[in-house]
Amino acid sequence: MMIREDEHRTLLRLTQLQEEGWRAVVAVRRCNGSRRTLTDLVRLTGLAGQIHDTAKRAVADGAAGPVEEWNTVAALTVRALELHAALIDAIDETERRIYASLSSMTARYATSAGFDDFLNFVCEQIAVVCDCAPVLCSRLRGARQDFIAANGVEVPDQDVIVAPNSPERLALNEHRLVLSEEPGLRTSAALQRLMGNRRYYVLPLVVGSVDYGLLYCSAVLGDTRALDAYLSMVGEIVTSAWRTDSLERELAEHASRVRRELDAAIADTFAGPGNSEAGPPDLTGRENEVLDLLLQGVTNAEIANTMFVSVETVKSHVKNILRKCGAINRSELIARFAERPPTLHAGDADWANEQTTRGDRQRLRGPSQEWSNNLQCGL
């Protein structure tokens, strides 16, 4: 008995799908995992779905047909199931490679030389995974954007306005991936040139009410669901890094401003009238001893001998004193505290008397230009 026409078409289609499916599996395996793209994922997923549906239809048609046809249907179905399993393995491996690209972005942010370097790496990964070029990333400045990273082209040195009724404005308003060819949108001539006169997708890089920038890639993939899912995850990584980078910059600027204000306040405190005899409020007892000796013109080695400590310990005390007093060098320190009387330290009542009897080298003396210069050289 002859195979029916509809059943014949199903079996012929299953045979064609098997040939196409095995070619796709072999092509992906030949890559050895070095490059897996969304195009691979969409193609493999589509083939797996078609083979699954066609095999089910072939089994149903064969079961309704004569017994002599069953062997043919069964053989094709078994081969289809083997191919389907191979396609599922290839899909799983492709997905792992794509997720690995996302992980590499996170790792790159932690090790990159700068934020622009991180964004250039992101553009490179998008170009590979989405198999598209060019890829651009811009920073928003009000109604304008300037480009700070790219792949496939040089980073443009021009800024572009975000116009009303543009794909960029729609993406920012609706917080979604937008195709430049959506109805009712007008693309700027400048962006068309930058994207090689191709249609493109634009993704907003937004956190809450803060618009950081825009991400562009050429539209070469027909299935926007896979692209939307991947770019959405990329957007989360980039905006999180951008927010962290902005906070770190703000914190560094705030810390620098506070440090400058504190330094100025300390300098005013010790340079102001009536404060020439006041000592820095946070010097330790040992640092006060070192300061007294510094004001006498004593060298580091002599201070070390006097205090029974190493020269390195003395140098450490000197650095701390200069930092706490806001002085650049010993000359500036001496100028601030030239009139400061020696400090009498608790538990050391004879210390001051001892200093006055050490001879010419360690006697108390007022600052002079000669030993001031010597001190500065000895720092």
pLDDT given for residue 171 in this prediction: 94
**pTM listed for this prediction:** 0.58
**The pLDDT of residue 356 is above 50:** no
**The pLDDT of residue 221 is above 70:** no
The CATH H-level (homologous superfamily) assignment of domain 113-250 is GAF domain (3.30.450.40)
Tell me the three state secondary structure of residue 216: strand
Helices (H), the chain: 5-30, 38-64, 70-111, 115-129, 167-174, 189-194, 224-271, 285-295, 300-307, 311-325, 330-337, 351-356, 369-378
User: Which residues face 140 on adjacent strands?
Assistant: 145
CA triplet 12, 18, 19: central angle to 5 degrees? 95
**Any idea which residue has 């001892």 for tokens?**
354
8 A C-beta contact, residue 105 and residue 126: no
pLDDT given for residue 203 in this prediction: 94
pLDDT given for residue 278 in this prediction: 47
**The pLDDT of residue 173 is above 90:** yes
pLDDT given for residue 322 in this prediction: 86
pLDDT band at 215 (very low <50, low <70, confident <90, very high): very high
pLDDT band at 145 (very low <50, low <70, confident <90, very high): very high
Domain ranges of the chain: 5-107, 113-250, 285-378
pLDDT given for residue 149 in this prediction: 92
pLDDT given for residue 80 in this prediction: 85
Tell me the three state secondary structure of residue 67: helix
Query: What is the DSSP code (8-state) at residue 309?
Result: -
pLDDT per residue over 309-347, tens digit each?
A: 888 898 888 888 888 887 888 888 877 776 555 554 444
Q: Which long-range contacts (CB under 8 A, 24 or more apart) does 163-166 make?
A: 163/188
We find that the CATH architecture of domain 285-378 is: Orthogonal Bundle (1.10)
Element (H, E) at 139: strand 135-141
User: Which residues face 141 on adjacent strands?
Assistant: 144
pLDDT given for residue 270 in this prediction: 54
- Out of 10-24, 122-136, 257-271, 291-305, pick the least confident: 257-271
pLDDT per residue over 42-101, tens digit each?
A: 888 888 888 888 888 877 776 666 656 677 778 888 888 888 888 888 888 888 888 888
Q: For residue 26, how far is the Cα from the chain centroid?
A: 37
Contacts of 85 (CB under 8 A, 6+ apart): none
Query: What integer is the mean pLDDT of 108-120?
Result: 87
Query: What integer is the mean pLDDT of 167-172?
Result: 94
pLDDT given for residue 271 in this prediction: 53
Query: What integer is the mean pLDDT of 192-204?
Result: 89
The fold adopted by the segment(s) 5-107 is Methane Monooxygenase Hydroxylase; Chain G, domain 1 (1.20.58)
Q: Do domains 5-107 and 113-250 have the same CATH topology?
A: no
pLDDT per residue over 7-39, tens digit each?
A: 677 778 888 888 888 888 887 777 655 566 877
pLDDT given for residue 364 in this prediction: 39
Query: What integer is the mean pLDDT of 215-220?
Result: 86
pLDDT per residue over 262-291, tens digit each?
A: 766 666 655 544 444 445 557 888 888 888
Name the average pLDDT for the chain: 78
What six digits make up the tokens of 141? Answer: 């400045």
Query: What integer is the mean pLDDT of 192-212?
Result: 89
Contacts of 375 (CB under 8 A, 6+ apart): 294, 297, 299, 330, 331, 334
**The pLDDT of residue 196 is above 60:** yes
What is the rounded CA–CA span in Å between residue 377 and residue 379?
6
